[in-house]
Structure 1
Amino acid sequence: MDSLAREKMENQASSITLEASLENLKAVNSFICKWAKRANLSPRSENNLLLAVEEVYVNIVKYAYPESLGKVTICCRMDKNSLISKIKDAGIPFNPLEVPEPRLVSRLEERKEGGLGLFLMQKLVDNVGYEREGNYNVLTLVKSRKKKIKRRESKDN
């Protein structure tokens, strides 16, 4: 692919707007998978991004709109190095980056409920950002397009 075609592809973006309902989770997953493949993410990176977006989406469905059915917009774009997914809702203001990390060393019955999924979401992507834009929560998830080289230890006898 020549550099002009690659630049055009990298500058493209698309979005999907859905009712915040678990019935739409399949459409969300399909949208993210399409972009992960377009960005040439590894299967592991694709799966990690999918899990992170799913966690955010399910939290919006469960908590953002307690009294009505709201909307969620997911916008994806890529640049030379990353796939950027923005998830936007007009629900209750909520910054997931302000949720304290769960105490993983606590015994299960002593552990405070909640926050584990958000903690894992942050570990599954390379960067997470949050903004309150007017009446909207906007969460940005960034996944690197670069392949990570794993080093293996060699055992010398």
Structure 2
Amino acid sequence: MLEQNHLRVCSDLKLLNQVQDWFEDFCLQHSGQIPWSEGQLYRLNLALAEGFTNAVRHAHQALPRETAIDIDLLLWSDRIEIRIWDRGQPFNPDAIAEPKPGTLQEGGYGWFLLRRLADRVVYERAADGRNCLLIVKSDKNRQEVKT
């Protein structure tokens, strides 16, 4: 791992700009180590925004505003990882039916948006009782070729 950063915020949608600014600052500080284009980083920031708002609106909807959401950024030589930690009830995102083109559906779009913005998205329960949304963007040019 080359670099890592951590942010803890309350469960409040008003803090979304702070979360996104923190991500952008991290990317600027490490621009020499980050191989992704501005457009790719924009999409990753959008994935972060979607993950954060889902934690606030869904995972923490019945919890106090003061309930913390922890966010970790991990920069590796071949990928960047975003980990969003919530304290809500776990759920299985794979059980959400994918919206069919041309039809309307209430909810469920965020999970499919995340999958399209990142190379890997995983949501699972940790041993400490928190849930972790893992969002990974790989640098396919730096990945080892496996034979």
Task: Report the secondary structure of 2:43's partner residue.
Answer: helix
- CA shift, 1:146, in A, is 4.7
- What amino acid is aligned across from residue 129 of structure 1 in structure 2? V
Which residue matches 2:78? 81
Identity %, equivalent residues: 29
Gaps of 5+ in 2: 142-147
C-alpha distance in 1, partners of 2:59/2:27?
26
CA gap 1:126/1:35 in 2 versus in 1, 3 angstroms = farther
Do 2:7 and 2:70's aligned partners in 1 also have CA atoms closer than 8 Å?
yes
2:124 matches 1:127: no
Compare CA radii of gyration and give the structure with the larger one: 1
Do 1:76 and 1:84's aligned partners in 2 also have CA atoms closer than 8 Å?
yes
TM-score normalised to structure 1 length: 0.77
Which residue matches 1:72? 69
Correspondences of 1:130-141 after superposition (within 5 Å): 130-134=123-127, 135-141=129-135
CA gap 1:132/1:29 in 2 versus in 1, 3 angstroms = same
Aligned residues: 134
Give the structure with the higher percent helix.
Answer: 1
Do 2:2 and 2:77's aligned partners in 1 also have CA atoms closer than 8 Å?
no
Do 1:95 and 1:137's aligned partners in 2 also have CA atoms closer than 8 Å?
no
2:7 matches 1:16: yes
2:43 matches 1:52: no
Do 1:97 and 1:130's aligned partners in 2 also have CA atoms closer than 8 Å?
no
Task: Report the secondary structure of 2:82's partner residue.
Answer: strand
Which residue matches 1:151? none
C-alpha distance in 2, partners of 1:50/1:78?
14
Which residue matches 1:100? 97
What is the aligned counterpart of 1:41 among 14, 36, 41? 36
Give deviations 1:15-73, integer Å, cap 9, x for gaps: 10100101211111012213334224211111110111101111111111223222111
- CA shift, 1:125, in A, is 0.7
C-alpha distance in 2, partners of 1:116/1:137?
20
* Pairwise CA RMSD: 1.7
TM-score normalised to structure 2 length: 0.81
